[in-house]
Structure 1
């Protein structure tokens, strides 16, 4: 390998490591802040308040997917990008967002009629302003994403979380109930858009040319369809439950989904910020790509399974301590959601790999097929119980990782044996650690002590099991921490 190649590899490795570190720190901080503000809001609001917002959120998210149309991933996948590309995305996003807001504004009475709740008509019209506001930052977000400006994206989202949640807590305290949550979502979108604009070097012009859109639409259109189904997959419970159950039930499920997604987001956002851009840059070197892919997959599994299995283990204690007894019903829903969520986090790495190969059609096929099956499961099982519906979807989430493997195999020499080593071995160790923790706290009656014992016992058991059976990733993490400490002391 030439000196130039070594330098390029070192630069990419450095940017990847820096991106993962910044992503991890920012997403961890985001989830901590989100958790603190979420606890404060949940203590002041009711399950019915959250249920009202959950019923209309899905429409706003689908509209967001329409206006973005996969442009962020589409821009990242292009070999070269010029100002005209970003400018076309900017004006296209705003145009589509405006048209969609008008259509949804006019559809608000139909949404209220579907759920049989008249109050949803004005509420939905307010909530929908959030995705329209967000349309102004899509092109600038694409710029930051393509150029691995993870730090700048992190600062933007962290600032937006702090500002919007402070306002949300104040409004909840003043008695605005679900109206406060609606205003909070709009403020979050507005703040992120403004900061993306500030950090991005791209500045829009009135020299509008939509030709670049046609150049990336083949790739991005499939991402758009996929994003629609991702939002449907994440919010289909509210869509189905809102029709057949009370707002309180929807609120409890939505609260469980919120904490599960919060646990997932720490890892998925960290990985998403670097995986596709990095794998795309080294796709001509298949051996190196395989090594990088396996390392990212193993690292994701190493973090995902103990984190989400652990949240499942302490779900009852966590809900009672953080949110009080009025949310106790959501604890039973949180358990299966977290178990299935761990496998979704790992599947996300396969999804990023397929995108790095430019195979947005396969990515779309997988997400779309999963969404249809999940919807059919919920429709078929809604008359039994909510918990039974969630348990069935966990089985689907577990089995779908094999679908991702079959889609990826033509493009990488990755075997079922590799999958067991990189994924299921960590799942087994996390499950064993959870079992040890369960026996350790099962006889303790105080919920605070139960929570503390469970967390520390599971963490200690998981580290010990990894040190004994799978030390590679653990040793790399510890070595990286040691290097950071050495640099600080120099």
Structure 2
């Protein structure tokens, strides 16, 4: 017998610690955003985010999908892991050199000369990140979310302090630049501290060849995902101006915080946990259904309620300076309201080793997204984002069909399981909308909307004894 806790216990603990991390990170992020948004301008945010796509691409390329392969494999040697570490490190240096020399082209593309120096400093985060990719991967594989929680909070606090200090001392956009660099630097040090693994002088070419196919399929998917997730920033920066990039980024940032609050606590443990059940399709399907229903029960009403309170939210948190971001924020919330479905479906395909199917599914999704971009980019930013929202629902439908076939979970059954969630969401959103009609101070109206909406949401779940209610009740009894 082993003293290790069972997989399901680790899964639950992982989610709980993830929630703790996200609430702590949200509080830290709230303070940092509140301060920085009042000091810095939309143009400052716009400049940094114009080059974000290149940083993300560099990070994706250096990992090459090998990290996911490490999580998916059941047995590994130190030599196997060290081989991936050395590949990551070498790739990061090559990528940095290439991007460093491309800085002038990037600046010319956006017609922003200052991006030459800014990008060359920001791109340093790529080799810094490469030093700790394996540590993060192994902690994730072992479901050590508590340690990852400490890393995230520590990195956010220190880097946020750096950003605020520089912003107060009139460094403008450089406050955001060094906030980003310091975050990766502190994160890498912390990950080495919490991870017991250290590289050894060994390179296993056989292992690399063995995981190459799976990793390259994932690399293709991750590369396309990085491009398309940031393509709107790229297009807005190219077609419009730096201020519009700043407004869009702030809308995306606030919406992403809501995503992270719910999904990141689960994302870290779904793929590793699903991988444990890859040989038991019935158990895998049951775990998938339970997690997806729980996540959609919370996430779907949250995103739609955020649409309703969006104006008050931006007014209170970021001041009227950022109100042009509100329409973009609302559209993004609608577009991402089915995000848990896409996320869980992707985790399933990776967990069962369906790298090729995962790649093809994403190719189809990006074709749909590309069509929406081609049909809308000539009009306005708002129409462009509406096209994105429509394509998001189409892509969710496709992923539900593909994943359903893999685990024998039909689309009809999936939709039937979602109908009670739609019912509860409709009532909750109606009540929240009524509170926004109150003629009082925005901050009071926002507080009332949140309190009333939360009370109604919980009350309905208790009265109808929803699956979310039953799962939470069962969890409390077990603990």
Relative to the length of structure 2, the TM-score reads 0.95
The answer to whether the aligner puts 1:193 opposite 2:188 as a matched pair is yes
Runs (4+) off by over 4 Å: 7-10, 481-484
Give the alignment of 1:149-160 within 5 angstroms.
Answer: 149-160=144-155
Q: CA deviation at 1:10?
A: 7.2
Q: CA deviation at 1:367?
A: 2.7
Name the residue aligned to 1:240: 235
The answer to whether the aligner puts 1:451 opposite 2:446 as a matched pair is yes
Name the residue aligned to 1:461: 456
Moved more, 349-358 or 400-409: 400-409
Quote the Cα distance in structure 2 between the aligned partners of 1:328 and 1:468: 38
Name the residue aligned to 1:261: 256
Residues 371-415 of structure 1: CA distance to partner in whole angstroms, max 9, x if unpaired? Answer: 343244234312212111111211111222221122113321212
- Is contact 1:301-1:422 (8 Å) kept? no
Q: CA deviation at 1:93?
A: 0.6
Relative to the length of structure 1, the TM-score reads 0.93
Distance change (3 Å), C-alpha of 1:176 and 1:427: farther
- Is contact 1:267-1:345 (8 Å) kept? no
Name the residue aligned to 1:37: 32
Moved more, 419-428 or 401-410: 419-428
Quote the Cα distance in structure 1 between the aligned partners of 2:296 and 2:310: 21
Counterpart among 120, 125, 148 of residue 125 in structure 1: 120
Moved more, 429-438 or 135-144: 429-438
Q: CA deviation at 1:483?
A: 6.0
Name the residue aligned to 2:375: 380
Distance change (3 Å), C-alpha of 1:379 and 1:41: farther
Counterpart among 457, 460, 469 of residue 474 in structure 1: 469
- Is contact 1:43-1:324 (8 Å) kept? yes
- Is contact 2:294-2:467 (8 Å) kept? no
Counterpart among 52, 62, 83 of residue 57 in structure 1: 52
Aligned length in residues: 479
Quote the Cα distance in structure 2 between the aligned partners of 1:413 and 1:181: 47
Residues 16-56 of structure 1: CA distance to partner in whole angstroms, max 9, x if unpaired? Answer: 11111111221232223222212211111111111101110
- Is contact 2:218-2:355 (8 Å) kept? yes
Quote the Cα distance in structure 1 between the aligned partners of 2:402 and 2:111: 42
Quote the Cα distance in structure 1 between the aligned partners of 2:205 and 2:414: 43
- Is contact 1:164-1:184 (8 Å) kept? yes
Determine helix, strand or coil for the equivalent of 1:274: helix
Quote the Cα distance in structure 1 between the aligned partners of 2:125 and 2:374: 29
Residues 352-372 of structure 1: CA distance to partner in whole angstroms, max 9, x if unpaired? Answer: 111111112222223333234
The answer to whether the aligner puts 1:294 opposite 2:281 as a matched pair is no
Counterpart among 430, 436, 442 of residue 435 in structure 1: 430
Distance change (3 Å), C-alpha of 1:332 and 1:426: same
Distance change (3 Å), C-alpha of 1:209 and 1:291: closer
- Is contact 2:335-2:389 (8 Å) kept? yes
Give the alignment of 1:187-336 within 5 angstroms.
Answer: 187-336=182-331
Quote the Cα distance in structure 2 between the aligned partners of 1:427 and 1:127: 42
The answer to whether the aligner puts 1:357 opposite 2:352 as a matched pair is yes
Gaps of 5+ in 1: 485-490
Quote the Cα distance in structure 2 between the aligned partners of 1:216 and 1:268: 28
Quote the Cα distance in structure 2 between the aligned partners of 1:244 and 1:155: 41
The answer to whether the aligner puts 1:414 opposite 2:409 as a matched pair is yes
Aligned alpha-carbon RMSD (Å): 1.9
Distance change (3 Å), C-alpha of 1:179 and 1:389: same
Distance change (3 Å), C-alpha of 1:312 and 1:218: same
Moved more, 294-303 or 190-199: 190-199
The answer to whether the aligner puts 1:345 opposite 2:340 as a matched pair is yes
Quote the Cα distance in structure 2 between the aligned partners of 1:52 and 1:271: 32
- Is contact 1:271-1:349 (8 Å) kept? no
Q: CA deviation at 1:467?
A: 2.5
Determine helix, strand or coil for the equivalent of 1:314: helix
Give the alignment of 1:31-110 within 5 angstroms.
Answer: 31-110=26-105
Quote the Cα distance in structure 1 between the aligned partners of 2:49 and 2:271: 30
Distance change (3 Å), C-alpha of 1:190 and 1:243: same
Distance change (3 Å), C-alpha of 1:178 and 1:422: farther
Residues 296-353 of structure 1: CA distance to partner in whole angstroms, max 9, x if unpaired? Answer: 0011111211222222221110111111111010011111111211212331011111
Distance change (3 Å), C-alpha of 1:10 and 1:125: closer
Gaps of 5+ in 2: none
Determine helix, strand or coil for the equivalent of 2:210: helix
